[in-house]
Every structure is written in C-alpha cells, then in structure tokens.
Amino acid sequence: MHINDDSMEIDTSNISYNSGNESISGYLAYPKDGQKHPGIVLIHEIFGVDDHIKDVTERLAREGYTVLAPDLFSSEKFSGILTKEAIGKAMNFMMSIPVDKQRDEKYRQEAMSKLRDSDRNAIAAVYGILFINRPIDTFTGYLSSAVDFLTQHNGVNGKIGSVGFCFGGGMSINLGCTGKVDAAAIFYGENPEPISKLRGVRHAVLGLYGGEDTRITSKAHELVKELADAKKNVTIKVYKGAYHAFFNNTRPQTYNETAAKDAWQMLLRFYKENLQ
C-alpha cells in the first residue's frame, strides 16, 4: 500500500523483553525524530511475526507511533512446538477440511489418521495449543508485559494502543479487557470469552470485519452491545464482500484492496482521536 512521501524516517530492531521469568522476542519500529510518541502493541496473525506483520509495524511507525510486534510464540514454553513449519502444516491441514467440519473433532481425527506420524504429531500439538485449549491468559500476560516495555521506552509518551489481525485481533481485545491500553483495534478477531470481560476496557474499541467472514462477523453485535452497555466508545465497520484476512496484501486469495485502504484510514483516525 502507498506510504505518504512525507512520512517519518524510522529505526527498526529485533528486541526481547521479559514477561515474568520468560523472554519474549519482538520487532520494534519507531520514528527517528527523537520525540515521544504514542506506543502501539501490534499482534500477529496465527503465522507469527512474518514479513507482512513487520511491514505493518513499520507503516504505523512512519505515521508517528512507537510500535512493538511481540512474537507470542517465542516463549521457551512453546519452543519446538509452535514453529513456523508446524503452524503452516496445521493451517494447511485445517484448510483442507470443509468449513463446516473444521471444529468437528471426530471428522478431524479421521482426517488426521491418514497423515504421516510426524505430520500428525506436529499438527496435533499446534491444534491443541492454538485451536482447542488456547492459553489466552498466558498470551495476554505476554502482551501486558509488552505494554510495560513500551511504557518504559524513551520514545513513548504514555499513551498506548493495540491492534491485531485474526488470532491477533482476538488477542488485541483480550489485552484491551485488562484496561492497560487506551485504544484497542480488532481486525476480524474473535470476541473475548466470557463477553463480560469487555467491562474492563479502559476507553475505546475499533472493530473491522469482513462481510463474508460470517463465523467471526456474526458475533460482532455481541461485542457492540456489551461495550455500549458499559458506556465504552466503540466503532464497528463491516466491509461488504470482504473475506477473512482482507487486510493482508500478501494473500491475493483474500486481500481486498478497497476494504484494506479504508480500514487503514479508519485505524489512523481511531488512534489520532484516542491516543494523540
């Protein structure tokens, strides 16, 4: 996507920060102007911190934010399990299953029984962590520590926001429920469970969804109602004809340029209104 010619020069680096007794790696980008800016925790899709996530991190930094994209799978706790190769195999396997059967345990087990032992074991391990018993509290703890890292960073002025995509969208709102960020943005992420967790949101939420992404988008009204009842600032937009992952321009099968460009502008306005 186009970046304005007058956007800021940035520095980038691979960093690590502590979360309890664990070390979490991340990708950091921030303006080179020596000034303090709002901080953003940017949360990856289920594929981890890939080139797309790094690109979005840099784009937000050029807009005047100090941005940290933590790798939630980099903890020693998930070492050798949540590898890019294993996650890729799990996602390819899931996409090979009819949509209406993807959460059918019996059907999935039958399909997995046809795989090689090594693939089956790797996929089962990833499935167990990311799809069946996802450790939301653990991941939220890593993100909470990312907020602490940004708060202590010389380039951050004290205001903190978050944004995430798919898996990361769900984690962005879970982080928002802790009350540690001023503005939480969701790109086609699942609602927190229980939905009442939303009462912990500090201030503002932005949700951006694809009209064709019915499994996720059909629950957006529950998020709106809970936040409205709690008198929180919430903005939701559903893009007609857009599918899940419509923002990711590295996936031509789902990328929707019109929706992605509009969503980007909505995100920048959201942060300007709530963090500047």
**Contact status, residue 49 vs residue 27, Cβ threshold 8 Å:** yes
Helix axes 117-127, 84-95, angle to 10 degrees: 90
Q: Which residues contact 13 (CB under 8 A, 6 or more apart)?
A: 27, 28
Report pLDDT for 68: 98
Task: Report pLDDT digits (tens) over 204-223.
Answer: 999 999 999 999 999 999 99
DSSP-derived secondary structure letter, 192: P
Q: Which CATH number fits domain 10-75+140-275: 3.40.50.1980, 3.40.50.1820, 3.10.129.10, 3.90.1150.10?
A: 3.40.50.1820
Q: Are 75 and 139 in contact (CB under 8 A)?
A: no
pLDDT for residue 6: 56
Query: What does the pLDDT look like over 111-154, one tens digit per residue?
Result: 999 999 999 999 999 999 998 899 999 999 999 999 999 999 99
- Quote the distance between the C-alpha of residue 144 and its chain's center: 14
**20-52 tens-digit pLDDT:** 999 999 999 999 999 999 999 999 999 999 999
The model's pTM is 0.94
**Cβ pair 176, 184 in contact under 8 A:** yes
Residues of the chain above pLDDT 90, percent: 91
pLDDT at 205: 98
Q: What residue segments make up the domains of the chain, in order of their start?
A: 10-75+140-275, 78-132
CB-based contact 141:23 (threshold 8 Å):
no
Catalytic positions, written as ranges = 166, 213, 244
What is the reported pLDDT for 131? 87
